[in-house]
Amino acid sequence: MSAKPYDQMTSFHDDTTYILGDLIMEGSLDGGDHPVVIDGQFNGDITAIDLIIREQGKVTGAVKSKTAIINGHFNGNLICESLNVTNTGIVEGEVQANALSIDLGAEVIGTISRVNAKSN
Amino acid sequence: MDKLGNKTLIGASATFTGKVINARVIEVNGKMNADLTAEKVTIGEAGHFDGAIQADLVVVSGHYEGKMQAKSIWATATASISGKLHYETLQMDRGAALNCHVVHNWKAKNTAVAQIDNDDADLLMPTTLGKAKNGAVPKPPIEGA
C-alpha cells in the first residue's frame, strides 16, 4: 500500500471496496481485510478494518472499524479504535473511540465515549 | 491498481448484502448479494454474485447465480454461471462453465412478422393483418413463459 493517506489517494487496489459518487447502497457491508472507501451514500451496517468517508460520502447506520477517517457525513453509531474527523467532516450520533482527533472546522454532534471492553 | 474513475468496487475480501441504487459501472471482486441495474458490471475472477442483474454489458470471470438481462454478456474462461441469461450478444470463452437457461432476446422489428407487414401486406387477409397495420410491434416472449 502506498504511504499516502487514503483520503488523498487517487487510485485503489482491487481489494479495496470503493463506493462511488452517485451510488446509493443499502444493506450490510463487510470489508474484510481491506479498506472501505465511501464516496457515495451508504445506509446500513459496515464492518471494516479501515473506513474512509470521503468529502462527498454519506453514511447512515452502524459502523464498526479499526480506524475511521471522516471527511464527509456520518450519522449513526460508530465504534472504532481510532477516529479522525477532518475539517470537512460531520458526525452525528453516538461515537465510541479510544483515539480521537477532531480537526478545526469539523462538526461533531452527539455523545463520545471510550470503547468499553464489552462492545469490542 | 485501478484508476479511481467512475467505477464502484467491491473488494476481494468484502461481502455486501442489500440494495444498490444508481449504479453505473461496478466491479465485484468479493461477494455480493443484491439486485443490480447498471451500465457495466464486471464480476472478477474471485467474485461471487448472487442476484438479478440488468445491464448493457456484463463481463463474468467469477461465479454468478441469478437472472441476468444484458445486451452483451461475456463469459471469460474462468466464469461459472448458473441461473438464467437473457442476452442479445453472448461471448463465451473456452473453459467457461454455463449451467443455465439461456434466452436470446431478439428484436421484434427484425422478425418475419415485420417483413410481412412491409412486403406481403396485400396478400394477406385484412383480419389477420389488423394488428400489424396498426403499427403494433410484436412483443418478445414473456420471461418464464
Domain positions in chain A are 11-113
Q: What is the pLDDT of residue A6?
A: 55
8 Å CB contact between A49 and A63: no
| Predicted local confidence at residue A116, as pLDDT | 73
The residue behind cell 471522516 is A70
- Would the pLDDT of A40 be above 90? yes
Q: Give the whole-angstrom CA distance, residue B22 versus residue A24.
A: 6
- Asked if B8 and A26 come within 8 Å (Cβ–Cβ), the reply is no
pLDDT digits (tens, 9 = 90+) for A44-103: 999 999 999 999 999 999 999 999 999 999 999 999 999 999 999 999 999 999 999 999
CA–CA separation, A21 and A53 (whole Å): 11
What is the predicted pLDDT for the residue at A9? 55
Please report which confidence band the pLDDT of residue A22 belongs to, taking 50, 70 and 90 as the band edges: confident
Contact B64/B81 with Cβ under 8 angstroms?
yes
Whether B14 and A36 lie within 8 Å, measured CB to CB? yes
Q: Cα–Cα distance between A85 and A52 in angstroms, integer?
A: 10
Chain A residues within 8 A of B8 when measuring between CB atoms: 18-20, 23, 40
H/E stretch holding B68 reads: strand B63-75
Q: Identify the pLDDT of residue B138.
A: 55
Provide the b/e sequence for B8-42 (b: ≥16 CB within 10 Å): bbbbbbbbbbbebeebbbbbbbbbbbbebebebbb
**Exposed/middle/buried for residue A91 (C-beta within 10 Å: 0-12, 13-18, 19+):** buried
Under an 8 A CB cutoff, do A33 and B4 touch? no
Chain B residues close to A29, C-beta within 8 Å: 14-16, 18
Query: What confidence score (pLDDT) does residue B71 get?
Result: 94
Pairing of the two strands B15-21 and A24-30: antiparallel
Q: Residue B11 and residue A17: Cβ atoms within 8 Å? A: yes
Distance from CA of B8 to the nearest CA of A (A): 5
- Provide the b/e sequence for A46-65 (b: ≥16 CB within 10 Å): bbbebbbbbebbbbbbbbbb
Comparing alpha-carbon positions, the chain B residue that sits nearest to A33 is B13
Chain A residues near any Cβ of chain B (below 8 Å)? 9-36, 40, 44
**Tell me, what's the ipTM?**
0.82
The predicted pLDDT at position A13 comes to: 66
Q: What is the pLDDT of residue B129?
A: 45
* Amino acid letter for position A72: G
Measured between CB atoms, does B30 come within 8 Å of chain A?
A: yes
Average pLDDT over chain B reads: 80
Report the predicted TM-score, pTM, of the whole model to 2 decimal places.
Answer: 0.76
pLDDT single digits (tens) A86-116: 999 999 999 999 999 999 999 999 999 998 7
Nearest-Cα residue of chain A relative to residue B43: A14
Nearest CA in chain B to A6: B4
Positions in chain B whose pLDDT score sits under 50: 1-3, 108-133, 135, 145
